[in-house]
Structure 1
Amino acid sequence: MEKVVQKLLATGITLGGSIVASRLVAGAWKVATGHDAPSDATDESVPLVEALAFTFASAGIAAVLKVVGQRSAASGVRKIADKTGKRVDNEV
């Protein structure tokens, strides 16, 4: 049960962080380049280098968020277990 709680918590943290991060990346992209972030990979009016740069930036941030979400969830579950003196799945 502890692993299930940890995975659900990690998923929630990652999804929430991803929503915020995608808006931040799009805003930073607009500030840096002066135009909107590429939203359609098949749009040939967007130069390939620009589309790839945006993809790499977005993927890198997504990977960081996944790791942070997993570690935060593990830490949160561990703190709950330490405070209660019990594991989340009610094992001692």
Structure 2
Amino acid sequence: MNNLVEKLIATGITIGGGIVGAKLVEFGWKAVTGHDAPKDLDDTEEHLVSAISFAVISAGISAIIKVTSKRGANAAVKRIQARSTSKAGVGEV
């Protein structure tokens, strides 16, 4: 398989995982605190502790998603390579 295709697959899985993870963090934040996730940096009504807590939680979840999605992407690329190798072997006989 082409190295460019492998990178595109890995990038797509990572981006998709990041989008899903961000939505999960926002949903979880609202479920736990009852408030929307802090987004406006100029909003002086946001509590500093709340904004920092959200940032730390969001960064931690993002790091976990990045690692797991990269591992998942590598596993998916290996499966695709194995299938293409086994199919190529059948036609050569």
Calculate the TM-score normalised by the size of structure 1: 0.79
Residue in structure 2 matched with residue 31 of structure 1 by the alignment: 31
Residue in structure 2 matched with residue 13 of structure 1 by the alignment: 13
Q: Could you list the per-position Cα deviations for residues 61-88 of structure 1 after superposition, in whole angstroms to 9, with x for gaps in the alignment?
A: 11111112211111111112222227xx
Q: Which has the larger radius of gyration?
A: 2
User: How many residues align structurally?
Assistant: 86
Q: How does 1:1-92 map to 2 (within 5 A)?
A: 2-85=2-85
Q: Offset of 1:13 from its aligned partner?
A: 1.1
Letter in 2 for 1:39: K
> For residues 66 and 6 of structure 1, what CA distance do their matches in structure 2 show?
16
More helix by share: 2
Give the share of equivalent positions with the same residue, in percent: 47
> For residues 6 and 67 of structure 1, what CA distance do their matches in structure 2 show?
17
Q: Residue 26 of structure 1 contacts residue 36 of structure 1 at CA under 8 Å; is this kept in 2?
A: yes
> For residues 66 and 5 of structure 1, what CA distance do their matches in structure 2 show?
19
> For residues 56 and 74 of structure 1, what CA distance do their matches in structure 2 show?
27
Calculate the TM-score normalised by the size of structure 2: 0.78
In structure 2, stretches of 5+ residues that fail to align are 87-93
Letter in 2 for 1:11: T
Q: Deviating runs (4+, > 3 A) in structure 1?
A: none
Cα-Cα RMSD: 1.8
Q: Residue 9 of structure 1 contacts residue 73 of structure 1 at CA under 8 Å; is this kept in 2?
A: yes
Q: Could you list the per-position Cα deviations for residues 42-67 of structure 1 after superposition, in whole angstroms to 9, with x for gaps in the alignment?
A: 32211111101101111111111111
- Would the alpha carbon gap of residues 67 and 6 (structure 1) be closer, same or farther in structure 2, given more than 3 Å must change? farther
